[in-house]
Amino acid sequence: MSDRPVVLAVAAADMEAEAYRGYCLESVAAAYDIVLITSEEPSWEVPFIRDCVVVPDPTDQAALSAAGRALADRYDLAGVFTWTEWYLVPVARLARQLGLPTTAPEVMQACRNKGTARSLFARHGVPSAASLSVRTRQEAQAAAERIGYPIVLKPAAHAASIGVIRVDTPEQLPAAYEFAAGAAVLGTESTSVLVEEYLDGPEVSVECVTYQGETTVIAVTRKTVSTPPYFEELAHSVDASDPLLGVVAPAARAAIGALGITDGVSHVEMRLVDGRPRLVEVNGRIAGDMIGHLVRLATGIDLPRAAADIACDRAPDLTPTRCSAAAIHLIYPETSGTLTALHFDGPRPPWLKRISFQRSVGDRLLLPPEGDMFSARIGFLITTGASADDARRRGQEALGALTLDVAPHNRADQDTGADSVV
């Protein structure tokens, strides 16, 4: 029998899980025995876990709680946590039911509902965006006139930029509202649409760790997003010595404090408007898109391990052991279509840390507005360097050795099936 502490992880089992969250499970398994609740029979997770209970829908609180109690009967659980956005509130409730450490479920609900978060930011003086919650196109039109164009429409309780769209004129609003509302109906904390002021400036995220009410700012992630009207994230980079850290840290701490987060890892998104931070949202979990892995490559700080430590009421080790940079380039086609060729023919220098494909030849790829990041993304590659510029440059070099062909769906308008990468 192992004498290591046992932590319960609740995690999604979709097709992206291994590629984008496998590093989290591997990291935590180095220090803890993991028992897992997930929605499908485990496969790639098996080497990292001690036990598993399958719950087809972990957002079903009764089913999740029953599974959690069953595992608590088998093991002396030290903590429970999740890195899956949709499970934040149910897992916080489960932790409370089991008497385990957690940020309050009500706080997690505020993180999940962007409208509630905006209200809390305003109440606590955290710089954010003007925002109004609406339920009809007519309400959206009135809100847009009040705020002033350009505006952003977004679901109040979704994630991954799904359903988020910029609107520059009143003529664009009807179709844009339908796009946002179509995604909003899938929200579990709210089905409303937000009409918001467009924050014009570069987008960054701030990766933070909070333990017993004290927040440590770990790293800043610089982002590359798609051209309007959509907000697909195309690339991220983390530099341990980024001068923006001092600029964004106070706003990140203020946002976490305004929401009432007491414990856990947070991914705080903001834009720099005229050089000053304006809050977009706070995600109460480790960032997606391998950002936590970039943080470790650049700083040596292990965010998944920190999340598990905090869930078990242990002080996390946040001591930097590296000072470098890392970048991820997310691979999309330039047009929707069928993937006809995909292979990497280049060398594998030490700075090319990972290449991962989630799509195969023959798969259909759908960009917005017909699809989203889950239906369009092909994969990613990760590079390192002495600086973020160096890591990004190497990423472009690696992309040059990638063969990616897409046959557009509307062949009548296309002369060739060849497509380039973004």
Distance, CA of 276 to CA of 272 (rounded, Å): 5
**Structure confidence by residue, pLDDT tens digits, 372-384:** 778 899 999 999 9
Whether 182 and 217 share a structural domain: no
**Strand 214-225, strand 233-239: pairing:** antiparallel
- pLDDT of 15 reads 66
**What residues form DSSP beta bridges with 210?**
215, 264
Domain identity same for 232 and 293: yes
Assess whether 215 and 313 both reside in one domain. Answer: yes
pLDDT tens by residue, 7-27? 999 999 876 899 999 999 999
Both tokens of 266, joined, read 């947070």
Distance CA 58, CA 9 (A): 12
Evaluate if residue 37 carries a pLDDT over 60. Answer: yes
Does residue 298 sit in the same domain as residue 247? yes
- pLDDT score at 418: 42
From 297, 323, 349, give the residue that closes a domain.
323
Predicted local confidence at residue 183, as pLDDT = 78
Specify if 370 maps to a domain: yes
- Show which of 323, 346, 375 is a domain's final residue: 323
**pLDDT 10s digits, 215-226:** 999 999 999 998
Tell me, yes or no, whether 308 and 204 share the same domain.
yes
Kindly state whether residue 157 falls inside one of the protein's structural domains.
yes
pLDDT of residue 416: 40
Whether 50 shows a pLDDT value over 90: the answer reads: yes
Q: Pick from 299, 323, 347: which residue ends a domain?
A: 323
405 in a structural domain? yes
Q: Cβ distance 162 to 193 under 8 Å?
A: no
Q: What is the mean pLDDT of residues 139-156?
A: 94
- pLDDT-based confidence at residue 163 (cuts at 50, 70, 90): confident
| Residue where the block lists tokens 């856990």 | 264
Same domain, 249 and 277: yes
Over range 287-306, report the average pLDDT.
98
Side-chain-side CA neighbours of 417 within 13 Å: the count stands at 12
- The domain spanning residue 174 has which CATH number? 3.30.1490.20
Residues 164 and 262 both lie in one domain: no
Of 24-38, 96-110, 401-415, which gets the smallest average pLDDT?
401-415
**C-alpha–C-alpha distance, residues 240 and 391, integer Å:** 12
Q: What angle do CA 189, 190, 192 make, to 5 degrees?
A: 165
pLDDT digits (tens, 9 = 90+) for 117-131: 999 999 999 999 999
Cα–Cα distance list, 407 to 44, 338, 341, 360, 414 (Å): 32, 5, 9, 13, 9
Tokens of 194: 């937000």
366: domain CATH number is 3.30.470.20
Across 395-412, average pLDDT: 88
pLDDT band of 412, cuts 50, 70, 90:
very low
Q: Is residue 115 part of a domain?
A: no
Q: What is the pTM of this model?
A: 0.93
Alpha-carbon separation of residue 271 from 70, 143, 199, 412 (angstroms): 44, 22, 7, 40
Task: Please say whether the beta carbons of 163 and 182 come within 8 A.
Answer: yes
What value does the mean pLDDT of the chain take? Answer: 93
pLDDT given for residue 159 in this prediction: 67
pLDDT in tens, 318-367: 999 999 999 999 999 989 999 999 999 989 999 999 999 999 999 999 99
Residues 349 and 291 placed together within one structural domain of the fold: no
pLDDT at 75 over 50: yes
Q: Are residues 372 and 292 in the same domain?
A: no
* pLDDT-derived band at 421, boundaries 50, 70, 90: low
The answer to whether residue 114 sits within a structural domain is no
* pLDDT value for 47: 97
Residue 186: per-residue pLDDT: 65
The answer to the question of residue 350 being in a domain is: yes
Tokens of 109: 């609900």
pLDDT for the residue 373: 78
Question: Is 414 a residue whose pLDDT tops 60?
Answer: no
What's the domain count of the chain? 4
Residue 314 CB: number of other CB atoms within 10 A? 17
- Residue 121 in any domain: the answer is no
Spatial distance between the Cα atoms of 234 and 379, rounded to a whole number of angstroms: 11
Inside any domain, residue 125: no
Q: What is the CATH number of the domain that holds 96?
A: 3.40.50.20
Looking at the structure, tell me whether residues 23 and 137 fall in a common domain: no
* Band of residue 422 on the pLDDT scale cut at 50, 70, 90: low
Q: Give yes or no for residue 411 having a pLDDT over 50.
A: no
What is the rounded average pLDDT of the residues 179-184?
84
Query: Domain residues for 10?
Result: 6-102
Q: Examine the domain organization and report whether 235 and 166 are in the same domain.
A: no
* Mean local confidence (pLDDT), 41-57: 97
Tens-place pLDDT, residues 236-263: 999 999 999 999 999 999 999 999 999 9
Q: Are 332 and 391 contained in the same domain? A: yes
β-pair partners for 326: 238, 384
